[in-house]
Amino acid sequence: MASSVSLSRRLSEAAELVRKGSVVADVGCDHGKLAAYLLDCGRADYVFATDIRKQPLEKAAALLSSEKYRNRSECILTDGLCGLPADRITDVVIAGVGYDVTGKIIKDAPWLYDPDKRLILVPASKHEKVRVFLAGEGFSILSEKAVFDKGHAYTVICSSYSGIKRELTVEEKWLGDIDLLSPDGSRYAEVLERRMKTVTEGIRDENDPLRKEAEEILSITGSRPDPGDNI
């Protein structure tokens, strides 16, 4: 079923990862458009839209107050997932916040450490630290996709708990499971290249761990085929 709600590219990609018929927690719901979209399209049977700020939540509540959403959604003023019914929620979307807030929300909800729960993350910054956090906490990345939206490079991560904690390789840390040959993946790599070049130019010590990581990533991204190549 189509939705009259228009989403940004990154939220559209996140919506596609929500399992059909799920009960969703949309953390930091802002305007509530994702919640409405998920209900319209049948991705979600029920949505808990949460925000720590009163004003955005009021906007979401206004959107979700119409008859077609009223009995299938709930707007809750709370910090992350605090107070939500863990036994009901199957899929959790956390979009638009930094890696530190993302990590705090997850650690404050121990019920997420369950293979049956699904995490869909669209971190606003420092994607590499989100990947490191997930691996260190025993979460596996099921899929990852780069999205270039309004001039910014994002990653959309789908993850669930496996109980296997591990350290990531340099490539896994910085590039995750992104397809660098896709149009958005290539642009993601270009943004990362600029960042890594800044690191190598700013750190004189050739033995500095971060400089070494930057050099390794530059060697990987630099080996991508040109757009004109047959790939």
Among candidate residues 45, 42, 40, 15, the one with its CA nearest the CA of residue 29: 15
Q: Residues 127, 155: contact at Cβ < 8 Å?
A: yes
pLDDT surpassing 90 at residue 67: no
Q: What would the mean pLDDT of 133-160 be, rounded to a whole number?
A: 96
Q: Residues 26, 93: contact at Cβ < 8 Å?
A: yes
For the chain, report the end-to-end CA distance as a whole number of angstroms.
35
Among candidate residues 133, 68, 138, the one with its CA nearest the CA of residue 94: 133
What is the spatial distance between Cα 229 and Cα 231, in angstroms, rounded to a whole number?
6
Per-residue pLDDT reduced to its tens digit, 47-63? 999 999 999 899 999 99
pLDDT surpassing 50 at residue 230: no
Half-sphere exposure of 43 (CA within 13 A, CB side): 24
Per-residue pLDDT reduced to its tens digit, 3-17? 788 899 999 999 999
pLDDT surpassing 80 at residue 231: no
**pLDDT > 90: what percent of the chain?**
89
Per-residue pLDDT reduced to its tens digit, 170-201? 999 999 999 999 999 999 999 999 999 999 99
Question: What sections of the chain are H helices per DSSP?
Answer: 9-16, 33-40, 54-63, 67-70, 99-107, 127-137, 170-175, 183-202, 209-221
pLDDT band at 229 (very low <50, low <70, confident <90, very high): very low
| CATH class for the region spanning 9-175 | alpha beta
Positive or negative torsion for Cα 32, 98, 193, 177: negative
Q: Where are the domains of the chain?
A: 9-175, 183-221
pLDDT band at 1 (very low <50, low <70, confident <90, very high): low
Give SS3 for 69.
Answer: helix
C-alpha distances out from residue 106 to 14, 29, 144, 147, 165, Å = 17, 16, 18, 23, 15
Half-sphere exposure of 36 (CA within 13 A, CB side): 19
pLDDT band at 33 (very low <50, low <70, confident <90, very high): very high
